[in-house]
Amino acid sequence: MSAETIESRLAKLEIETPSWGYGDSGTRFATFPQPGRPRDVFERIADAAEVQRLTGTAPAVALHFPWDAVDDLTGLRAAIDAAGLRVGAVNPNLFQDPDYRLGSITHPDKEVRRKALSHMVQCSEIARELGSAALSLWFADGTNYAGQDDLRERRERLEQTLTELYEAMPADQELLLEYKFFEPAFYATDLADWGSAVLVCLKLGERAKVLVDLGHHAHGVNVEQIVGLLDRERRLGGFHFNNRKYADDDLIVGSVNPLELFLIFVELGAAERPLPRLTIDQAHNVEPKLEAMVRSVLNLQECYAKSLLVDRAALRTAQRAGDVLRGHEILLDAFNTDVRPLCAKVRAQLGAAEDPLAQLRSSGYVERQTRERASEHHAVKG
């Protein structure tokens, strides 16, 4: 691949940052407020626009409802447009309402399932009004004890509710189905892995695709293989990028296992198709919010750039010849390349910052927002 082609592809990289990633967050034990955190969705949009200004690669903001609820959706869309952004995926909240203690779309009570369905349909309508092309779904549904509920019936409830949702969605809107192998359900999670998710998608239709969260797998799972298989079947809807050391830690993507992130991009490049939806989903608890988000985007830029350096022709030759170590070395050659100058060059071409973190720290943006957002407000994610 020529240098011009690499630069062109890197310049087209697009990352969605999450509105919820800019607000207060915490652990099971506490929420940790930070000075200057946004008080509403409009201030979260302002922070997302600053990340885009600095990196040139974050033109969309994913929204979460009711966390980002407003009385005037037209005004919200106008504010997003004015910030130079667009709306990414819309995410319903199906885990915080007390009625969902035993599940949402798999709950034994039909009325609770109808409530969850109504909320998802409403979010689909919100997505349409905001110009979003995707509804992103994660469910905390599952059981904590054997015998708590009938596992087969829960699956039937899940499929029936999602079928009704899919039929109610606009024809140009995708349904992204996320999975997680445990937590908060500790005996059986209703959508525990990519297989259980893709089986539902196959029943729903072509617009139903799987969303891969990097923190939602057991230790040792080969995530890049999952990515390759889903992409081959045209059922890979996108990612929630983060990193983990033990469980779903929501650490900065690429901070713990950058090789895995690089190999995921290598798999995505194998089919020579446009990249799927790439979304950051992290809860920055001890890190400064904006610095953490910028660092996340930079890590994605760098791992994607490294994947573009892979000599695909040489790799195929080595693979077909059964040259085990040569194939591995070709990947390592690309991974070990310092692409920071390349990424800085492309950012400059995009009108962004060559060194986004340094510019953020020297710009005074965080200090200005801290002064302007001094009033008390509630956390958006705990």
pLDDT digits (tens, 9 = 90+) for 224-278: 999 999 999 999 999 999 999 999 989 999 999 999 999 999 999 998 899 999 9
pLDDT at position 283 is 87
pLDDT at position 32 is 81
pLDDT at position 378 is 45
pLDDT at position 28 is 73
Looking from the CA of 246 toward its CB, the CA atoms found within 13 Å total: 1
Whole-model pTM: value is 0.95
| Residue from 234, 292, 299 nearest 265 by CA | 299
pLDDT tens figures, 68-117: 999 999 999 999 999 999 999 999 999 999 999 999 999 999 999 999 99
Peptide bond connecting 184 to the previous residue in cis, omega within 30 degrees of 0: yes
pLDDT tens figures, 166-195: 999 999 999 999 999 999 999 999 999 999
Q: What letters, b where the CB count within 10 A reaches 16 and e where it falls short, cover 219-243?
A: eeeebbebbbbbbeeebbbbbbbbb
How many other C-beta atoms can be found within 10 angstroms of the C-beta atom of residue 216?
Answer: 27
Looking from the CA of 154 toward its CB, the CA atoms found within 13 Å total: 21
Please report which confidence band the pLDDT of residue 380 belongs to, taking 50, 70 and 90 as the band edges: very low
376 pLDDT more than 60 = no
- What percent of the chain is modeled with pLDDT above 70? 98
Peptide bond connecting 33 to the previous residue in cis, omega within 30 degrees of 0: no
Residue 189 C-alpha from the chain's centroid: 20
Helix (H, G, I), strand (E, B) or coil at 189: strand
pLDDT tens figures, 15-52: 999 999 999 887 778 888 888 889 999 999 999 999 99
56 pLDDT more than 50 = yes
pLDDT at position 382 is 34
Strand partners, 86: 60
Q: What average pLDDT is seen over the chain? A: 95
pLDDT at position 375 is 64
353 pLDDT more than 60 = yes
163 pLDDT more than 60 = yes
Domains of the chain: 3-372 (3.20.20.150)
351 pLDDT more than 90 = yes
